[in-house]
Amino acid sequence: MLGNFQRSELRIEVPATSSTIRDRLLSPAALKKWLFPQQISFSSQNLLTLGTKFDTSFGPVVVKSQVERVDAQCLRLLLSQGVDGFHEWYWGEGWVQSRLEGITLLPLNLYQTATLLRLRQSLTVGTHG
């Protein structure tokens, strides 16, 4: 894989319960909404479970993801193709944390920051409207 090894960890406060955050991260329909304009294709439209595979595209770059771990407060995705690495999500009452590591040409920190801000925006809209 061409690119640089990159690592980024961010944690933000969000106006949501742990269960609401979990629903936003594990529902394919919710992911498609708050990650738009990214294009996501799922192998199943059910909640993400161990082994679920999906692709995310950023223009011409495709990142393949597979759920390696999922529980009440954690989601870990193995990444390949556009990013070789992993993306972990942890959450609790009023906070969400993202840890992203991989080899890629993409600016992972910029992507991660934008993703967390989109998630927070979707949670804010969800609690007020």
Task: Write down the pTM of the prediction.
Answer: 0.90
Domain around 112: 4-128
Helices (H), 1-129: 18-26, 28-34, 108-128
Two tokens, residue 64: 């393949």
Only one residue has tokens 């269960």, namely 19
* Portion of the chain with pLDDT greater than 70, in percent: 95
The separation between CA 51 and the C-alpha centre of its own chain, rounded to angstroms, equals 15
Q: How many CA atoms lie within 13 A of 41 on its CB side?
A: 6
pLDDT of residue 129: 43
pLDDT of residue 72: 93
- The predicted-structure confidence for 1-52, as pLDDT tens digits, reads as follows 678 999 999 999 999 999 999 999 999 989 988 988 788 888 777 889 999 9
Mean pLDDT of the chain: 90
Can you give the CATH number for the domain in which 123 is found? 3.30.530.20
- Rounded CA separation 39/88 (Å): 20
Two tokens, residue 92: 């609790």
User: Does 54 have pLDDT greater than 80?
Assistant: yes
Helix (H) or strand (E) holding 80: strand 74-81
- Rounded CA separation 115/72 (Å): 21
